[in-house]
Chains A and B, each alone.
Chain A
Amino acid sequence: MRIHFKTTYEQDIRLFPDLWTACVYGALILLAFALPYLINEFYVGEVTNVLIWAIAGLGLMLLTGQTGQASLGHAAFLAIGCYTNTILIEQGLPFIIAFPLAGVITGVVGAIIAIPALRLHGIYLAIATIALSILADDIIVLLEPWTGGVSGKFPEMISIFGFEIERWTMPTRFYYLVLVVTIICTLFYRNLLRSPLGRAFAAVRDSEVSATAMGVHIARTKATAFGLSCMITGWAGALMGYYAGTFNNETFSIVISITLLMMIVIGGLGSIHGAFFGAVVVAFLPQGLSILKDGLIGGGVAIPGLETGVFGMILILFILFEPMGIYGRWLKIRIWFELFPFARKDMFRRQKSYLKTERLR
């Protein structure tokens, strides 16, 4: 077990707690960059998919895991990011400007939408965001001149200073693009947590009343969280558009919103690792299931709804037996080994609270 002897407050908020951790993450990034030389192109495409989901997961994690506001409407923001990016590029902006701008616009739209939604909390916010997710589908159809309506759109080839990137013909280049965006988003998220704003988010999540008492402006903090969350989600949406190759009003359905929320719960709410673990589950579950099904009952038998059904069951098991998700389980195992033989069963027991209604009658 490593013991950190802290002599300054700076040490509390360092990017990496010690040299060893920094080396581990450095090695991980090196591995990620070397990956296309280690595995074939098909799997590079799959890993790209994982990374895109992870970016989207980071976006929602910032809002749900960090600020404690459940959103069931993030597919709408994926859509905004995707359409904005494509439309801006069609207007002649280069990718290097259009792509960041798409995220920023999504963030601004998210923050504006959040302002009325701020008066809501808990389930009401979840329901308002569901309505948003459903409305997005219809609004995309209504805005047909811009969005192409039901027939959809095709994103153009990415060109950065003449360097061309395309998902199907050059999956390796696209992988590197996504990897760079992932690293930027992760660093942004990590640094945000080290800033006063990030800690204000956590304060709002843990108790709005105490946060107010500590001088945190609840409404402003929530709107900022919503905006930043939507910004990251918008980038993920733009990349998802490139990954899919074509998209229309049904690409970003409410099912995507729900999958996204479930993904970060399975991964582990409130941690960066959780978004990545969850993304791995979501991206590889369909393939894993079909391999398993072929092995058990032979190929060719289609069971409609199998994926969502199994996904739901996995989620129920996680909420019942491991509410902290995959990352929480990993932490428990690690701490058990670090403290061996002093780990105790109840070290992670959470305090339970008695419910009180907010209704008066």
Chain B
Amino acid sequence: MEVLQLLVSGLANGCVYGLIALGFVLIYKATEAVNFAQGDFMMLGAFVTLGLTNAEYMDLPFWIAAPLAISIMAVLGYLLDFFILRHLFGQSQTAVVILTIALGFVLRFVAGLIWGHEPQTLESPLALGDVQFGGVVLGMADVAVIVVTFLLTWSLYQFFQRTKLGLAMQAASQNQMAAYFMGIPVRRVQGLIWGLAGATAAVAGILFASKGAIDPNAGLLGIKAFAAAVIGGFGSLPGALAGGLIVGVIEPFAARYLAAGYSQIAPYALLLAVLIFRPHGLFSQVRVKKV
């Protein structure tokens, strides 16, 4: 029973990592850039929802506030691309990496300025009550996280495989010049993908905030989501989710069965092991370029 309990709580945590990792993968899939600020996007999404819902701020009903927050984050993502990232078009990936790290710093600072540095809790209807399945006690929030994550991953996967826009996004990343020839508005497509990543981050943020308190440094969770995305193989949506679940499940088990100092290491040790033995993740899509 204990194993099952650990497994389920690990899955719920893993889904949050998976959701952030989805954001990484979305942007990587469409622009070949990595958004190191995705964790901070999530933090911002959570705080925007909190600002709209909680009694001491706007006091809107949750079911109005949540879609509103998601659309605010989507617009913010698009604007970020429009005003900042679009100007890096054609520059090296390292420039984008450093830019997004800096962006993370700025977002953390801004969130701290607006909402303060104390941990706060979201007044979320998801946070109430527990469900019992046999001997396993599940928080409502955990169930919601797992369900929403799987739905979101499935629909994003379908979006990329089946819709015209999704295919255009993939084409834009695979070969920008060829995509231009095919009449794809590459820049606008990249802006849309940043908006989509912002929306995904907002969903992750709402779910994360329903599970516990948040503060401006919550975005550092993004590093674990990184591990998830890499383990799954950057560029694969189901891979990101799988990686998130693996990291999420390993954590409670390591904390339970390993000695104190070693348990925090476990996700990163796994990350390094994956990088060494399968450098492009478990769901690899890369072949070595021959000279």
Cα separation A309 to B113 with both chains bound (whole Å): 10
Cα separation A213 to B289 with both chains bound (whole Å): 13
B291 surroundings in chain A (CB, below 8 A): 209, 212-213
Cα separation A138 to B264 with both chains bound (whole Å): 8
Please, which residue of chain A has its CB at the minimum distance from the CB of B180? A354
Cα separation A124 to B230 with both chains bound (whole Å): 8
Please, which residue of chain A has its CB at the minimum distance from the CB of B268? A131
Chain B contacts with A in 257-291, Cβ cutoff 8 A: 261-262, 264-265, 268-269, 271-272, 275-276, 279-280, 285-287, 289, 291
9 pairs from A and B in contact (CB 8 Å cutoff): A123-B34, A123-B93, A138-B265, A139-B265, A262-B98, A265-B98, A304-B117, A309-B113, A315-B105
B88 surroundings in chain A (CB, below 8 A): 319-320
Cα separation A125 to B239 with both chains bound (whole Å): 19
Using known A-B contacts A131-B272, A142-B262, A320-B87, determine if residue A312 contacts B104 with beta carbons closer than 8 Å. Answer: yes
B32 at the interface (CB under 8 A from A): yes
Cα separation A305 to B106 with both chains bound (whole Å): 9
Residue of B32, B101, B226 near A127 (CB, 8 A) is B226
A124 surroundings in chain B (CB, below 8 A): 230, 234, 275, 279-280
Contact B105 A308 (CB under 8 A): yes
Cα separation A70 to B173 with both chains bound (whole Å): 22
Please, which residue of chain B has its CB at the minimum distance from the CB of A213? B291
Contact B109 A312 (CB under 8 A): yes
A192 at the interface (CB under 8 A from B): no
Which 3 A-B residue pairs are closest in the complex by CB-CB distance? A309-B109, A352-B90, A312-B105
A323 surroundings in chain B (CB, below 8 A): 91, 95
B interface, size bucket? 35 or more
Contact A319 B102 (CB under 8 A): yes
Residue of A304, A306, A355 near B173 (CB, 8 A) is A355
Chain B contacts with A in 22-52, Cβ cutoff 8 A: 31-32, 34
Using known A-B contacts A124-B280, A141-B261, A209-B291, determine if residue A303 contacts B101 with beta carbons closer than 8 Å. Answer: no
A interface, size bucket? 35 or more
Task: Give chain B nearest CB distance to A73 CB in angstroms.
Answer: 11
Chain A contacts with B in 313-327, Cβ cutoff 8 A: 313, 315-316, 319-320, 323
B271 surroundings in chain A (CB, below 8 A): 127-128, 131
Contact B175 A305 (CB under 8 A): no
Please, which residue of chain A has its CB at the minimum distance from the CB of B175? A356
A116 surroundings in chain B (CB, below 8 A): 275-276
Contact A309 B105 (CB under 8 A): yes
Chain A contacts with B in 331-355, Cβ cutoff 8 A: 350, 352-355
Contact B108 A356 (CB under 8 A): no
> Binary interface profile of A, 279-308, with partner B (CB < 8 Å = 1, else 0)?
000000000000000000000000111101
Chain B contacts with A in 97-133, Cβ cutoff 8 A: 97-99, 101-106, 108-110, 112-113, 117
Using known A-B contacts A123-B234, A127-B275, A134-B223, determine if residue A312 contacts B261 with beta carbons closer than 8 Å. Answer: no
Residue of B99, B227, B262, B286 near A319 (CB, 8 A) is B99
A130 at the interface (CB under 8 A from B): yes
> Binary interface profile of B, 215-245, with partner A (CB < 8 Å = 1, else 0)?
0100000010011001000110000000000
Task: Give chain B nearest CB distance to A130 CB in angstroms.
Answer: 6
Contact A354 B175 (CB under 8 A): yes
B175 surroundings in chain A (CB, below 8 A): 354-357
Residue of A70, A354, A355, A359 near B94 (CB, 8 A) is A70
B89 at the interface (CB under 8 A from A): yes
A4 at the interface (CB under 8 A from B): no
Contact A130 B275 (CB under 8 A): no
Please, which residue of chain B has its CB at the minimum distance from the CB of A149? B261
Using known A-B contacts A123-B93, A209-B291, determine if residue A308 contacts B108 with beta carbons closer than 8 Å. Answer: yes
B261 surroundings in chain A (CB, below 8 A): 138, 141-142
Contact A123 B97 (CB under 8 A): yes
Task: Give chain A nearest CB distance to B54 CB in angstroms.
Answer: 21
Please, which residue of chain B has its CB at the minimum distance from the CB of A264? B98
Contact A355 B32 (CB under 8 A): yes
B177 surroundings in chain A (CB, below 8 A): 354
Please, which residue of chain B has its CB at the minimum distance from the CB of A132? B272
Using known A-B contacts A123-B34, A359-B174, determine if residue A128 contacts B109 with beta carbons closer than 8 Å. Answer: no
Please, which residue of chain A has its CB at the minimum distance from the CB of B275? A128
A6 at the interface (CB under 8 A from B): no
B84 at the interface (CB under 8 A from A): yes
Cα separation A130 to B291 with both chains bound (whole Å): 30
Other A-B contacts than A312-B105, A316-B102, A352-B90, 6 sampled, CB-CB below 8 A, are A128-B275, A131-B272, A303-B113, A309-B105, A312-B101, A319-B88
Please, which residue of chain A has its CB at the minimum distance from the CB of B284? A359
Cα separation A9 to B39 with both chains bound (whole Å): 52
Please, which residue of chain B has its CB at the minimum distance from the CB of A116? B276
Chain A contacts with B in 37-90, Cβ cutoff 8 A: 64, 68, 70
A311 at the interface (CB under 8 A from B): yes
> Binary interface profile of A, 244-263, with partner B (CB < 8 Å = 1, else 0)?
00000000001000100110
A361 at the interface (CB under 8 A from B): yes
B117 surroundings in chain A (CB, below 8 A): 304-305
Cα separation A358 to B271 with both chains bound (whole Å): 21
Contact A352 B113 (CB under 8 A): no
Chain A contacts with B in 76-110, Cβ cutoff 8 A: none
Residue of A130, A310, A359 near B286 (CB, 8 A) is A359
